[in-house]
Structure 1
Amino acid sequence: MTAAPGERPKPIDQCQDVQEILDQIRLRPGMWLRQRSLRDLQSILFGYGVALDVHGLDEKFEMGPVGPFAQWIEARFGWPMALGWAVAIEKHADGEEPLEAFFRLLDEYRTI
């Protein structure tokens, strides 16, 4: 889960969408997430989704606790999503760091 060679963080106000923000979090997870917590990441993304709704912004947002990303994980692995994708990934990481597992799954999801 390392950045590509030469890839540097950019100011958050230069990000165009949630996917670019996730790319920035991947570059510097310690700046964004206490103890690299997936639940903190899910909370950040929940707030992002709420802000989109409140401000009437039209952005494809797939990262809600039970949104398209969670539905894909549930369909792909059969993991329950009652508590959101963060808990499901943490529970099924099988020794892999949960944040690394998240980004691995995110990369796979982005290819579909």
Structure 2
Amino acid sequence: MPTEDSPQNTVKHWQDCTDVYDFLEQIRLRPGMWLPGGSLGQLQAMLLGYQVAVSVHSANENFNFWEFSQWLKEHLGGTNASYGWAADIERGTPEGSAPVSEFFRLLDIYRAESA
């Protein structure tokens, strides 16, 4: 969770990211670059690919995508598992708010609760 003077608020190349949270902060800083049209479906696919790559390469990563997805499902009421959490967030985001902003608000809650 970045603060105003946090180094995480600095735009950098994705190859310079140290973990998934660092990468997600880059998406938070420039969501239009990473998620054209603000598509959380694209973000969900990215995170799934990230988790698969971490598993395949036996990387030591402190991010459990499945645990995070389950937390989101429970937090959001699990309205439709076949579409996943991205669709749940998009449907549940109040009018006038951006689903991407809502995702990051939920991510911050998850990280605070998981700390």
TM-score category, normalised to shorter length: 0.7 to 0.9
2:94 corresponds to: 94
**Counterpart amino acid of 2:75?**
R
2:109 corresponds to: 108
Shift of 1:81: 5.4
- Give yes or no for contact 2:20–2:63 (8 Å, CA) kept in 1: yes
- Give yes or no for contact 1:38–1:86 (8 Å, CA) kept in 2: yes
Structure 1 alignment gaps of length 5 or more: none
TM-score, structure 2 as length reference:
0.81
**Counterpart Cα distance in 1 of 2:86 and 2:100:** 9
Find runs of 4+ consecutive structure 1 residues off by over 6 angstroms.
Answer: none
**Counterpart amino acid of 1:12?**
W
Residues 108, 45 of structure 1: alpha-carbon distance in 2 compared, 3 angstrom cutoff: same
- Give yes or no for contact 2:40–2:86 (8 Å, CA) kept in 1: yes
* Bigger share in helix: 2
Alignment equivalent of 1:62, drawn from 61, 64, 70: 64
Structure 2 alignment gaps of length 5 or more: none
**Counterpart Cα distance in 1 of 2:77 and 2:26:** 29
Q: Which moved more, 1:73-82 or 1:31-40?
A: 73-82
State the Cα RMSD in Å. 1.9
2:77 corresponds to: 78
Shift of 1:40: 0.6
- Give yes or no for contact 1:33–1:41 (8 Å, CA) kept in 2: yes
1:23 aligns with 2:22: no
- Give yes or no for contact 2:76–2:88 (8 Å, CA) kept in 1: no
TM-score, structure 1 as length reference:
0.83
